Amino acid sequence: MARTAGILTLLLVVAFAGCSDDITCPGDDGSDSPFVTAHVRQRGGERPFTAASLTVGGDPVPSTLVASVNYREYDEEVLIEGPLLYATLDDSAVIWQPGTPCTLRVSTDIGFAHAPAVVPTAPVTAAPATVTLGDSLLVSWSSSDDADFYSLRAVVRADDDSLVVTASVEDTFYTIQSDELSMSGALEGVVSAVSGPLPEVGAEGNVTGEGWGFFSVSFETDESDFSTSVLEPVE
């Protein structure tokens, strides 16, 4: 949720403030092109799925939108706060296997934009079975083919409380610091391999044509999951 909120914040800044020194734009002649952010998340294993999301913003917001990945079209878009156009593409199966080149195609009333990515292989993740509250937790994983970075998501749950930890790194390890683990409980997490640029202010995207922004594809399996019990210190 933290990463999604950050992407939407970036979209709102672009939609209403336009390009600035902090935001990489396609050039003066393309500053009116819509901003696009799209991500395809895939999971293999016992419960496979493909979940794709697409958000398009601009000033003015495009009046029409037709988008696809490898010619598989997104569902009809909806207008959300911003204003932004939002569309999804979901399936209860892995549509594109690791190593598959994927092309995002976006057509609006302004023109046509596209972006490439390759489905990476899934990492195999390892973490200690237990960690004491107040200590750091090292999570490591294998290197994935075609991955540009890795996305870690973890949730600590205890009774009705929960704590979310997220990180995006290029290394094959991440240390969850003690101040990020502020409660004890059962920690469940996953590391996804991601192909494509990380959408953030100041970064150069991979969407070209009559549009600019970011397109990425991630892959994970059951072996990408990890679990750790966060224990209270022994007095």
Same domain assignment for residues 102 and 30: yes
Same domain assignment for residues 70 and 156: no
Same domain assignment for residues 35 and 136: no
Same domain assignment for residues 187 and 205: no
Same domain assignment for residues 184 and 202: no
Q: Write out the two tokens for 13.
A: 């800044």
Same domain assignment for residues 67 and 18: yes
- Domain holding 48, by residue range, is 2-120+195-222
pTM of the model: 0.86
Rounded to the nearest 10°, the torsion over CA 48, 54, 55, 56 is: 180
- Whether omega before 123 lies within 30 degrees of 0, making that bond cis, reads no
pLDDT tens for 179-232 read 999 999 999 999 999 999 987 778 889 999 999 999 999 999 999 999 999 999
Same domain assignment for residues 71 and 129: no
DSSP 8-state code for residue 96: S
Give the mean pLDDT of 20-40: 64
**pLDDT for 147 beyond 90:** yes
Same domain assignment for residues 85 and 116: yes
Number of domains observed in the structure of the chain:
2
Same domain assignment for residues 210 and 99: yes
Query: Which one, of 233, 234, 229, lies nearest residue 127 by Cα?
Result: 229
CATH number at residue 148: 2.60.40.10
Give the mean pLDDT of 81-106: 95
What is the SS3 assignment for 10? helix
Same domain assignment for residues 105 and 140: no
Q: Write out the two tokens for 105.
A: 């195609």
pLDDT tens for 39-52 read 999 999 999 999 99
